[in-house]
Structure 1
Amino acid sequence: MGKLRVLIAALAVIGSTTITLPATAEPEPWLTITAVTLGRSAVAVSGMNTVAVPITVKAGYASDDPWTVRMPLFVTLKRTGGIGPIDLIVAGDLSRTAGTVRNGTWTGSLNVPSTANGTFKVTGVGRTTNYDDSDGSMPSPTPFDGPSIAITGVHLPKLGVAVIPRVVPFGAAYQLKAAIYDSATGRPYGTRILLQVVRDNLCAEYDAGSKYTTTAGILVTNFAGVGGDVNHCVRIRGRYVDVRSLHFTPLRPGIVAAAPRMTSVEVGMVVEVNGSVAGRSYRCQVDLQRLYGATQWRMVSSGSVRASGRFTLRAQPPYAGNLRYRVALPTCGRYQAGVSKSFVIRGN
């Protein structure tokens, strides 16, 4: 219990992402929706449970192609009220149970998670063999103004993650320690729960393979050093969309290199100082600092990192003698503050 509380308190990044429909083509002109009915108008859901709500669609598809005989439908519901970590729920794989393809009835279940706390309304119906479009089969839903359902979610799951080490060196391997716990109590559910801890395109695509946590709600995943600068995520997968997810990118050190174009110039002459910042630091601010006295560094000019990762600043020695400079990178997003090695420009 204590370890989970420490992990929650020391989370490197916490967040959630609203699940949205995949970008697809226009709705199909052959699909006509006449009615959508929900078997319940209100449900209460706790923790990691789901409640199955019967759903019925009366529709027609203007085609006699053989594949339409077993054509499933899906229904999308979007949030219209309340506060919760997801804004979309989906009832998929609805099967035709009466009538014909051109004038039939499709039925199935809407599995409601606790994270859908609030009011959701039917907004569209579509046909597909694979809801997440991983096989390219999914057209956009046909808009439909359907019924609403009030969902009371309690003991919602919450996700956290600690990156080890907290600031990941470039090229170094690292670990992600994911935690899932009851947002109402701050404690684990006491059972092993399936989570996905993945990165890059697997954070947006279909099921990438889940692993069980410990009964304390912890899952540790190791990653190689390549790929540390892409999107990472922890996902609680539902059948069609995530029940909850957390997206983040690991922190990186601020590594700065800089050198003057010339090291000896006339007093008052402008000298270019060129350098670079490691990683994807585009548009991060960099400051040229000059040493005053024995320990005090003061900014004398500033600029920003170009898309190439390089920058150019300008020094202008105000008097004769050796003047010591350095370039500082203030904390910029996930890049930590850093400074270059100091260098000397002599004013003559």
Structure 2
Amino acid sequence: MRPRMIAALLVAPLIGLALTAPVAQAAPDPNLTVTAARIPRTTPVLVSSLNTVPVTVEVDAKYTWPDADPNTTLFGILERTAGSGQVNYLFTTPLKRYEGTTANGKWRGVVNVPSTANGKFELTGVMVGQFSPGSGDMTDPTPVPGVKPTLTVTGSNQPKITARVIPDPLPFGKGYSIRWSVINGQTGKAYGTKLRVWLANDNGCVESFGGPVYLTDTNGYVTKAYPSSLAEYGNCLLLPGNPAPNGGLNVRPNRPGIVTAAPFETSAPVGKIVPVHGQVAGQPFGCPVHLQRLYGATAWRTVSSARVRPASGVFTLQAQPPYKGLIYYRVSFPACYNYRAGVSKTFTIRGT
């Protein structure tokens, strides 16, 4: 059978969420047709804490690829339609054929439902192979026709994941550590046992599951040190699941707002536009910067705005001396993305 690319279903920056909305990559597999799908269970799934409950999923399909393996498996994708939880998508384990042929058969398997799936889900799509965030054909799921089978989940004692980055904010070029915590979100207390978790970085948070494996202590804490080179990428804790994580949290260290700025001229006729060039450390492109002028003794008012340019982190603002004399300016950088707010040193332009 041919492998399938499913990483598009997991992109996000995972800010508090392990699984997010799918991003269309291509058309569905032209060789796969889903004729019917069923979730025989009609009662709500009651699941607590870190447990999972297997629920049967059945799919009738035709897979007509000429080189198809007789043992071809499928997997289903269930999408949240109501409720709230860390997981917005559920994936079945491999659906194995139990009747008919690969070209026209019936497949059956299970979806392991975690408490973090609290809410209502619909079986919306099917793909060939088994769920894997690795590389392969870039195809979209084949839609389930007609009324979609539904699954209602009542999750209790759902795990709550938090992260504390040390130091905060993180200076540029410095290593850091993250103290992760997994506790019972309903009681606010630890589960009282060591928990198996996955700690990963960058693409490892969305394109490979199964490790590296770490254990929390009995209070739900685990601390990991990271080199400075990983600070600009996502760092995640994922709750192990089969075949996908049962939830997770992704964080990026906060950065200080370090702004430098200087006018092209320090003296200019009243009304002349004077470019003010500057840079924000870390290159937070697209973030706003504001040129502010001092009014009276303490009031700073914005007189010009711009955005940080990509790649360089630089910006250009426009000052315009309104009167003769020494005029005080600064550049303000409001909090943006994971960057804290900051201001440049005050500088002057003399109106002449």
Instruction: Look up the match of 2:93.
Output: 92
Identity, in percent, stands at 41
Instruction: Look up the match of 1:132.
Output: 132
Alignment pair present for 1:344 and 2:348: yes
Q: Quick check: 2:289–2:308 contact (8 Å CA) kept in 1?
A: no
Structure 1 stretches of 5 or more lacking a match? 1-12
Q: Quick check: 2:133–2:206 contact (8 Å CA) kept in 1?
A: no
Q: Quick check: 2:293–2:303 contact (8 Å CA) kept in 1?
A: no
Instruction: Look up the match of 2:221.
Output: 218
The number of aligned residues is 333
Q: 1:212 to 1:344 in 2, by over 3 A?
A: same
Instruction: Look up the match of 2:200.
Output: 198
The letter of the residue matching 1:116 is A
Alignment pair present for 1:273 and 2:303: no
TM-score by length of 1: 0.84
Following TM superposition, by how much is the alpha carbon of 1:139 offset from its aligned partner in structure 2, in angstroms? 4.0
Task: Output the CA distance in 1 between the equivalents of 2:317 and 2:22.
Answer: 45
Instruction: Look up the match of 2:20.
Output: 19
Alignment match of 1:325 (pick from 317, 329, 345)? 329
Following TM superposition, by how much is the alpha carbon of 1:232 offset from its aligned partner in structure 2, in angstroms? 3.3
Q: Quick check: 1:127–1:139 contact (8 Å CA) kept in 2?
A: no
Instruction: Look up the match of 2:247.
Output: 244
Q: 1:253 to 1:298 in 2, by over 3 A?
A: same
TM-score by length of 2: 0.83
Q: Residue by residue, what CA displacement relative to the aligned partner does 1:277-304 show, whole Å, maximum 9, x if unpaired?
A: 11233333333334566x5252362212
Q: 1:62 to 1:304 in 2, by over 3 A?
A: same
Comparing 17-26 with 272-281, greater Cα deviation is found at: 17-26
Q: Quick check: 1:177–1:218 contact (8 Å CA) kept in 2?
A: yes
Task: Output the CA distance in 2 between the equivalents of 1:251 and 1:171.
Answer: 13
Q: 1:90 to 1:320 in 2, by over 3 A?
A: closer
Comparing 204-213 with 134-143, greater Cα deviation is found at: 134-143
Alignment of 1:58-137 (within 5 A): 58-63=60-65, 65=67, 67-128=68-129, 130-137=130-137
Q: Residue by residue, what CA displacement relative to the aligned partner does 1:296-346 show, whole Å, maximum 9, x if unpaired?
A: 252362212332422223334455544443322233343222222233333
Following TM superposition, by how much is the alpha carbon of 1:184 offset from its aligned partner in structure 2, in angstroms? 0.7
Structure 2 stretches of 5 or more lacking a match? 1-13
Q: 1:90 to 1:220 in 2, by over 3 A?
A: same
Task: Output the CA distance in 2 between the equivalents of 1:105 and 1:89.
Answer: 21
Following TM superposition, by how much is the alpha carbon of 1:23 offset from its aligned partner in structure 2, in angstroms? 4.4
Q: Quick check: 1:235–1:246 contact (8 Å CA) kept in 2?
A: yes
Q: 1:80 to 1:343 in 2, by over 3 A?
A: closer
Task: Output the CA distance in 2 between the equivalents of 1:105 and 1:317.
Answer: 77
Q: Residue by residue, what CA displacement relative to the aligned partner does 1:197-220 show, whole Å, maximum 9, x if unpaired?
A: 333222221216132212211121
Q: 1:190 to 1:266 in 2, by over 3 A?
A: same
Comparing 199-208 with 54-63, greater Cα deviation is found at: 54-63
- Aligned residue for 1:201, secondary structure, equals helix
Comparing 151-160 with 313-322, greater Cα deviation is found at: 313-322
Comparing 241-250 with 149-158, greater Cα deviation is found at: 241-250
Alignment pair present for 1:31 and 2:35: no
Q: 1:317 to 1:139 in 2, by over 3 A?
A: closer
Task: Output the CA distance in 2 between the equivalents of 1:300 and 1:97.
Answer: 69
Task: Output the CA distance in 2 between the equivalents of 1:34 and 1:269.
Answer: 71
